[in-house]
């Protein structure tokens, strides 16, 4: 099969479009023919070696932890899926990824893909939506009427977080630069904030939940907008427990994890029209380098997806 692999850590030039062995499903695992793979910042962070002390990856390593495709083969004991099922999922990021014609995934990490989305759009959903879901619902226990501040509401995680928070009945503040203010309004943000023109703490006050997707100064300044008992969630940098105690708030670093069960819930929401991915760019698998450059700019809105097989079923064979 064809795959985008790395043989060492480094810049986009270490991404190689080449032949790789087709994996075999073991007990409890499913072989999926990948139709599309979503691109996330974790892909280039792994490529650069940022995660090497946490995840036991070996070379050559296939990147990409978002997929939509079709079940091709079942390992022993698989009971939830059958051959031919259209599935989507966030595979275990400590294992190899989905920038490939095929991937082996545990059945617990998959769900049937939303009927209303074709594979490209479905592949953009799992990692970012699970992150938003697990942050707002599992960790912060968001309640209707609460006031939520979402940093980077236009980003991959942010645009799903805004929609999920609105669906739960929250009052939502979200930040982006000037060019994405209309997008924030379209997503349903109650008070869009242009971080290039305003200080978010001048607009967002008495906040129950802050979702920090930026870190650094943005995280530091976020403490002041929280009401007592509120919670600061970060996806990028563990917030200070001491500071949280001092202010009478809660703080948590969220590390998202695979969940087929939550993806099944998310598929229902998508099919009922309550949640939708925004796709910024679709590129062929062979152009993964370009996709990484775009993602690494830190200023794309919505999601980037890689087309792994063409709509007529023939696989991408173009050499990068
Ligand atoms: N811990 C976890 O499990 C987990 C899971 C998922 C993601 N993450 C991390 O979370 C971060 C965000 O991920 P993502 O997929 O949402 O990234 P992304 O899609 O690349 O985010 C891009 C967005 O960030 C906005 N942005 C950039 N600087 C900003 C600022 N100072 N204030 C507000 N918005 C700003 C941009 O809007 P403008 O162009 O308008 O500036 C752009 O729309 C990444 O570091 C990722 O690795 C962690």
Ligand 1 center–CA 238 separation, angstroms: 16
Dist CA 193 CA 177 (whole Å): 8
Phi and psi (nearest 5°) for 132? -65, -45
**Does any ligand 1 atom lie closer than 6 A to the CB of residue 163?**
no
CB 94 within 8 A of CB 258: no
CB 161 within 8 A of CB 143: no
3-state class (DSSP) for residue 20: coil
Distances (CA, A) of 284 to 76, 118, 281, 304: 33, 16, 10, 11
Dist CA 190 CA 174 (whole Å): 8
Q: Would you state the structure tokens that stand for residue 245, as one six-digit string? A: 């105690």
CB 248 within 8 A of CB 228: yes
**Does any ligand 1 atom lie closer than 6 A to the CB of residue 177?**
yes
Dist CA 114 CA 173 (whole Å): 28
If you take atom 35 of ligand 1, which residue's CA is the nearest one?
152
Q: Would you state the structure tokens that stand for residue 298, as one six-digit string? A: 């830190």
What is residue 314's predicted lDDT score, i.e. its pLDDT?
A: 44
Q: Which residues of 81-117 are buried (b: 16+ CB within 10 A; e: fewer)?
A: beeebbbbbbbbbebbbbbbbbbbbbbbbbbbbbeeb
Phi-psi map region of 161: left, alpha, beta (phi>0 left; psi -120 to 50 alpha): alpha
What is residue 97's predicted lDDT score, i.e. its pLDDT?
A: 98
**Does any ligand 1 atom lie closer than 6 A to the CB of residue 300?**
yes
Residue at token pair 């380098």? 289
Closest ligand 1 atom to the C-alpha of 159?
16
Cα torsion 40, 41, 44, 48: sign: negative
Dist CA 205 CA 207 (whole Å): 5
Residue at token pair 């969630």? 233
Alpha-helical (H) ranges within the chain are 41-48, 119-123, 126-133, 156-167, 181-187, 200-203, 216-222, 241-247, 260-271, 288-296
If you take atom 36 of ligand 1, which residue's CA is the nearest one?
299
Mutational test site, ligand 1, from 41, 153, 234, max ligand atoms within 8 Å of CB? 41
Rg (C-alpha) for the chain, rounded Å, is 19
Beta bridge partners of 100: 3
**Does any ligand 1 atom lie closer than 6 A to the CB of residue 294?**
no
Mutational test site, ligand 1, from 125, 175, 212, 213, max ligand atoms within 8 Å of CB? 213
**Does any ligand 1 atom lie closer than 6 A to the CB of residue 219?**
no
Q: Would you state the structure tokens that stand for residue 290, as one six-digit string? A: 């370009």
**Does any ligand 1 atom lie closer than 6 A to the CB of residue 180?**
yes
If you take atom 29 of ligand 1, which residue's CA is the nearest one?
152
Beta strands in the chain (DSSP E): 2-6, 16-19, 29-39, 61-62, 67-74, 86-89, 102-106, 110-112, 147-150, 171-176, 191-194, 207-212, 226-234, 250-253, 279-284, 303-307
Closest ligand 1 atom to the C-alpha of 301?
43
Low-confidence ranges of the chain (pLDDT < 70): 310-320
Ligand 1 center–CA 304 separation, angstroms: 13
Closest ligand 1 atom to the C-alpha of 218?
31
Ligand 1 center–CA 42 separation, angstroms: 11
Closest ligand 1 atom to the C-alpha of 256?
3
């Amino acid at each position: 099969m064809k795959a985008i692999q790395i043989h060492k850590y480094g810049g986009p030039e270490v991404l190689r479009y080449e032949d790789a062995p087709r994996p075999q499903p073991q007990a409890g695992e499913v072989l999926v023919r990948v139709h599309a793979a979503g691109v996330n910042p974790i892909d280039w962070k792994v490529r650069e070696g940022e995660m090497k002390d946490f995840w036991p990856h070996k070379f050559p390593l296939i990147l990409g932890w978002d997929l939509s495709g079709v079940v091709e083969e079942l390992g022993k004991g698989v009971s939830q899926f059958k051959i031919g099922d259209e599935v989507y999922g966030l595979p275990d990021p400590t294992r190899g990824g989905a920038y490939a014609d095929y991937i082996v995934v545990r059945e617990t990490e998959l769900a049937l893909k939303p009927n209303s989305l074709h594979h490209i759009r479905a592949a953009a959903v799992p990692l970012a939506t699970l992150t938003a879901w697990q942050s707002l619902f599992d960790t912060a226990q968001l309640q209707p009427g609460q006031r939520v501040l979402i940093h980077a509401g236009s980003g991959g995680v942010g645009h799903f977080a805004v929609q999920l928070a609105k669906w739960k009945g929250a009052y939502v503040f979200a930040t982006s630069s000037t060019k994405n203010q209309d997008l924030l309004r379209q997503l349903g943000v109650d008070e869009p904030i242009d971080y290039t023109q305003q200080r978010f703490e001048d607009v967002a006050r008495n906040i129950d939940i802050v979702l920090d997707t930026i870190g650094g100064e943005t995280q530091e300044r976020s403490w002041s907008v929280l009401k007592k008992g509120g919670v600061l969630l970060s996806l990028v940098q563990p917030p200070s427990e001491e500071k949280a105690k001092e202010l009478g708030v809660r703080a948590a670093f969220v590390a998202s994890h695979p969940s087929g069960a939550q993806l099944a819930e998310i598929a229902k929401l998508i099919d009922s029209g309550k949640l939708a991915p925004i796709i910024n760019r679709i590129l062929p698998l062979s152009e993964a380098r370009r996709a990484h450059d775009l993602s690494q700019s830190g200023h794309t809105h919505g999601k980037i997806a890689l087309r792994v097989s063409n709509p007529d079923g023939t696989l991408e064979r173009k050499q990068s």
